[in-house]
Homo-oligomer: A and B are copies of this chain.
C-alpha cells in the first residue's frame, strides 16, 4: 500500500517510520508546506518521496494528516471534497470537537477516521521523528460510528500492527480527558519554566543544581508553540476549567504554608500520593 503523510514532523515522521517498518505501507509519500522539512525527511529516509497533496492523493490509499490542529481545521473540508471511495483519511490531532463538528454532514465524512495517538516528545520537526514512538501506547479513535466500517477496519489493523492499544471515545469525552492528562501538564511546564527563568538570574546555578525531578516537571516546556497554541485555542473551555482547579490547589497549598498548617499540608500530600494507583 502507498501511504501519504501530510506534515513530516515529530508525529508524522515517526508514523512514517513505523508504517514502513511494520509493513503497513511499502511506499511513503511525504507532503509538507515547509520545503526544507520535506527535504530533510527524505535525507533521513523517513519518507520515500516528497510531493504535493494532489499528486499524493492520486496515488495513495491511506492519507495521514499530522499537522497542527488549526491547520487541520483549515484544510480538512477541502481534502474531504477530493476523496474517492478508495481513500481513507486519518488525522492525529490533539483536539477533536471542533474538527468533527466541522465535517459533520460532509458527503465524504465516512472516509475520515479521527485518531489521536497518546505519544510524543517535547521535540518537533523531522529530526525529532523516532522509531517505536507508538509501541505499547494508546490510540484514541473518536466517533467511529460516523466513519465507514472499512475505513475504521483499516485504521484498527494499522493500530494493531503498530502494537498500540485502541480506546474508543466520543469527541467531547476525548477533549475533556486530554485536557486533564496532557494539556494541563504542558501549561504547568510552560509556567514553571517561566517562573524559574524569571526568578533565577544566575542561570548557571540552575544548571548545576537541576536534577531529575526538575527536568521531568519542566521538560515539556521545550514544546513548540506552533503545536500547542492551537490546541489550547481549540480546547479552551476544558483547559480553562482544569487550569482554574489547578490554581485553586496551588492557592490552597500557599495558604497552608502562610498559615503554617503543616498537618493539613501533610494530609494533602498523602491524598495526592493516590496518583500512585493510576501511574505505574
- A positions within 8 Å CB-CB of B: 118-122, 137-138, 140, 165, 167, 173, 177-178, 180-182, 184-200, 203, 205-225, 228-229, 232-233, 236, 239-247, 249-251, 253-254, 257-258, 260, 262, 265-266, 268-280
B177 touches A218 (CB 8 A): no
Please state the number of chain copies in the assembly. 2
Residues of B within 8 A of A218 (CB): 185, 275, 279
A211 touches B118 (CB 8 A): yes
Given A180-B199, A182-B214, A279-B219, do A253 and B257 touch, yes or no (CB 8 Å)? Answer: no
Kindly identify which residue among B118, B191, B209 contacts A250, using a CB–CB cutoff of 8 Å: B191
B186 touches A213 (CB 8 A): yes
Assembled-state Cα–Cα distance A225/B182 (Å):
26
Residues of B within 8 A of A251 (CB): 247
Assembled-state Cα–Cα distance A28/B240 (Å):
53
A197 touches B269 (CB 8 A): no
Given contacts A188-B188, A191-B253, A223-B269, 20 further A-B pairs with CB under 8 A are A118-B211, A120-B211, A140-B209, A165-B208, A167-B208, A189-B272, A194-B249, A194-B272, A195-B245, A198-B249, A199-B245, A207-B278, A215-B280, A216-B216, A222-B275, A223-B273, A224-B273, A232-B265, A233-B262, A247-B250
Residues of B within 8 A of A229 (CB): 262, 265-266, 269
Kindly identify which residue among B191, B197, B217, B222 contacts A189, using a CB–CB cutoff of 8 Å: B217
A188 touches B192 (CB 8 A): yes
Interface centre among A118, A173, A251 (most CB of B within 10 A): A118
Tell me how far the C-beta of A190 lies from the nearest C-beta in chain B, rounded to whole angstroms: 4
Task: Show 16 residue pairs from A and B whose CB-CB distance is below 8 angstroms, ordered by the A residue.
Answer: A118-B210, A180-B200, A181-B200, A189-B217, A195-B242, A196-B275, A197-B272, A199-B242, A216-B220, A224-B269, A229-B266, A229-B269, A232-B257, A232-B265, A233-B260, A240-B258
